[in-house]
Amino acid sequence: MNTITAYKCKQCGLVMYPHHFRCLKCHAREFEEITPSEKGKLLTYTIVEQLPWGIDERGRVLGVVEFDNGVKALGVLHVENPKMGMKLKAGWDCVRVIGGEEVYGLTFQAA
């Protein structure tokens, strides 16, 4: 899944996603690009009932997943009955259609 790139601070080792110009911990400016593994665990999730105009869906589930190499990211969960700590596999799929154009984003399914 080469869909996102995270950044590891060369000075203190903090892993950040998305990119920041300075490390959030030590304020250094040099980073190493890293690619998350394909699998991770669910840290937390929420169910969004009121979505923006153009999304004809209720109850979209968003979750924060920590990949096996420490990268954390937010994405759409395609899982029935999500539970914290469950193992998930990442994907890159259409999450919305705007003006007839598909918008792709990070999604997660049960591993």
- Give the pLDDT confidence of 40-76 residue by residue, as tens digits: 999 999 999 988 776 777 889 999 999 988 889 999 9
Is residue 72, in this structure, part of any structural domain at all? yes
Confirm whether 79 is domain-assigned: yes
19 domain-assigned: yes
Q: Is there a domain that residue 39 lies in?
A: yes
Identity (one letter) of the amino acid at 45? Answer: Y
Q: Quick one: pLDDT band at residue 37, thresholds 50, 70, 90?
A: confident
Q: 28 by DSSP, 3-state: which?
A: coil
Compute the Cα dihedral for 47, 51, 92, 94 and give only its sign.
Answer: positive
Domain ranges, residue 106: 6-110
User: Which long-range CB contacts under 8 A does 49-57 form with residues at least 24 apart?
Assistant: 54/96, 54/97, 54/98, 55/96
For the CA atoms of 81, 85, 91, 94, the dihedral, rounded to the nearest 10 degrees, stands at 40
1 belongs to a structural domain: no
Q: pTM of the entire structure? A: 0.81
pLDDT tens-digit map of 10-25: 999 999 888 999 999 9
Domain count, the chain: 1
Give CA–CA dist 71/59, Å, rounded.
26
Return the biggest CA–CA distance within the chain.
Answer: 45
Over residues 24-33, the pLDDT tens digits come to 999 999 999 9
Is residue 49 in some structural domain?
A: yes
